[in-house]
Amino acid sequence: MYMLLATAPPPGSDGTAPHGTVSNGTTGTGLEGPAVVLQPLDAAGAESGPARTVPLAHLPAAVREAEQDSPRWVWGQAQRWYPQLLRAGTSVERCHDLALCQNILVFSPFTQAGGYPRSHSYVPMDLGPEPEARDTGQDSLFDAPVVHSGPTPAELARELREQLESVKTSTEPRRLALLLAAESAGALVAAEMTRAGVPWREDLHRRILSDRLGAQPAEFARPERMEAIVEELRTLLGAPTLNPDSPQELMRALHRAGIDAKSTRSWELMEINHPAIGPLLAYKKLSRLFTANGWAWLEQWIHDGRFRPEYVVGGVVTGRWSSHGGGALQIPKQIRGAAHADPGFKLIVADAAQLEPRVLIALSQDAKMAEAARGKDLYAGIAAQGFGGERDKAKIALLGAMYGATTGESGRLMPQLTRTYPKAVGLVEAGARAGERGERVGTYLGRGTPPPSKEWLALQQTTSAEEQRRADSAARSRGRFTRNFVVQGSAAEWALCWLADLRRRLRTLAAAAPAGAPVPQMVFFLHDEVMVHCPEEQVAAVTDMMHQSAAAAARLIYGDIPIQFPVTAVAADTYAEAK
């Protein structure tokens, strides 16, 4: 059922001391260097067979063998174990990531009464084998990764039991179990995506850069196009030494030239009519490309034709992923043409159409809005029902409702939206009011917001009239956060289920493929969008799977409800074309 993976306690230890390495052959274990314990556990997390201890170097083989029985692997953190298994060519079907699940259970509104947080022991799960140096696709200098002290197998098993128990006694065991499974599957997907990497053509990237910026500059120098604009700006603004990269300097120069700018943000400058504004905006655009995704980025992040960011599952409080390395979740549209499929492959990019509003409909069961979503374009449907067919207005109004806009056009459109969709708007409003009162809110599957900080709570207790304004502002701010959390977080868990289901289907496909044949791989994930690097002859089948998985995810979470989650899936040679 479960198979626990843990660093082995040193021989003769009582299992409570720091451990993790087996010193050497003289201890009589016959093991040298780091060792690992594989402990079978039953469905309740109790030991159900003898533990095996193997040298770390033999772990991939041991895992492959145990995988025959398709256990659910249990480990402190997938991130600590799985990359090296993948490197050795070993993948697993499913796992339970104790750290990720602990993180969910601690804040879940479904466990508050029966009390995972109250009873559990807070064993730190962030230990296990040292993460390897960033996987650049090259062999590491050291064969055996360092293993240092971590929780004992017994502690990890107990943690699992407490987690399972808290799910069982929670108010929504089915939902919570699904969330934990999806989160854990996400950990596997994340490691596999990093391993695979986004296929990236350095030559195409360089062409984009030279087309826009000119030839690659010498170190510490500006590209020629940018330098030319700097000279132009210095003349136009009468500031011969201006460095436009300094907001302060730029601000002073603008003011001296009689330009009344409140800030140097592009969208504010756009309102101003002055000959220097055009070149300045052009400079900012080029500067962004140069500093964030220029030659230095290419040098640092692209190796062997692959971009391999690390994903942090649950790295965002709402359950979205964050990432480290190369700004993976902010790849500008400008350079997406450099993400290019290998010969004989295509990139299939699928994204969920208007995911958050559709999630709002599912959560609120707003029949009227569900009707508007019947067609392909949800915003057009909403526009037809209450905004005189003006799609842009419908979109602004709906986004504003989910973000908590109060001013501007979006704020003005709110009453109309509320009249038309009292249930949907009511749901986000209730989320906001709860947050303002300091309460927690949660997603459909049970990921919860952290409680407000001590400072926040103290501020709400203020009796000073002067501080009351700050307290109100902080309350509204938290209200906007909790309002959005419900929708963004529920959308994130839908995407996670989509990803997990797609992974399962792709594994089945790969298992049926002849040995050595090229197989489709998930290579990138961005909130509501997934990219698969796919052999050409399987594009049709995989595209189909991406649609099927979306339907499966919706059914798995919400059951049979009258709202679709359509995805757009496009296959092309580059990321730019596929979007």
Partner DNA sequence: GCACTGAGCGCG
Partner DNA sequence: AAAGCGCGCTCAGTGC
Binding site for DNA (CB under 7 A): 243, 245-249, 251, 263-267, 284-285, 288, 291-292, 297, 312, 315-318, 320, 322-327, 329-334, 351, 396, 399-400, 403-411, 477, 480-481, 484-485, 488, 526-529, 579
Strands 21-22 and 567-572: unpaired
Sign, CA dihedral 240-241-247-248, equals: negative
Torsion angles phi and psi, residue 219, rounded to 5: -55, 140
- Per the CB < 8 A criterion, the answer to whether 498 and 330 are in contact is no
Nearer to DNA, 72 or 205 (CB): 205
**Residue with smaller CB distance to DNA, 15 or 332:** 332
Long-range contacts: 520-523, Cβ < 8 Å, 24+? Answer: 520/348, 521/192, 521/196, 522/189, 522/192, 522/193, 522/196, 523/193, 523/196, 523/197, 523/198, 523/199, 523/347
Closest distance of CB 58 from DNA, Å: 35
70: DSSP letter: -
Strand, helix or coil at 529?
strand
The span from the CA of 570 to the CA of 341, in Å, is 13
Minimum gap (Å) between residue 248 Cβ and DNA: 4
CB of 325 to DNA, least distance (A): 5
Least distance (Å) between residue 115 CB and DNA: 26
* H/E segment holding residue 233: helix 224-237
Q: Which of 319, 359, 316 is nearest to 492 (CA)?
A: 319
> Is-contact 59 83, C-beta < 8 A?
no
H/E stretch holding 387: none
- The least CB distance from residue 20 to DNA, in Å, is 27
Q: Are 36 and 53 in contact (CB under 8 A)?
A: yes
Residue 528 Cβ vs DNA, minimum distance, rounded to whole Å: 5
Of 478 and 533, the one with the shorter C-beta distance to DNA is 478
Shortest CB 327 distance to DNA, Å: 4
Q: Minimum Å distance from CB 464 to DNA?
A: 23
In the complex, the smallest distance separating the C-beta of residue 230 from DNA, rounded to whole angstroms, is: 12
Which residue, 70 or 266, has its beta carbon nearer to DNA? 266
Identify which of residues 164 and 189 has a Cβ nearer to DNA in the complex.
189
The nearer residue to DNA, 403 or 456, going by C-beta atoms, is 403
Distance separating alpha carbons of residues 82 and 86, to the nearest angstrom: 6
- Looking at the Cβ atoms of 96 and 480, the one nearer to DNA is 480
- Closer to DNA by CB, 31 or 532: give it: 532
Give the separation between CA 280 and CA 234, rounded to whole angstroms: 10
Q: Provide the pairing of β-strand 345-352 with 529-535.
A: antiparallel
For DNA, which is the closer residue by CB, 160 or 530?
Answer: 530
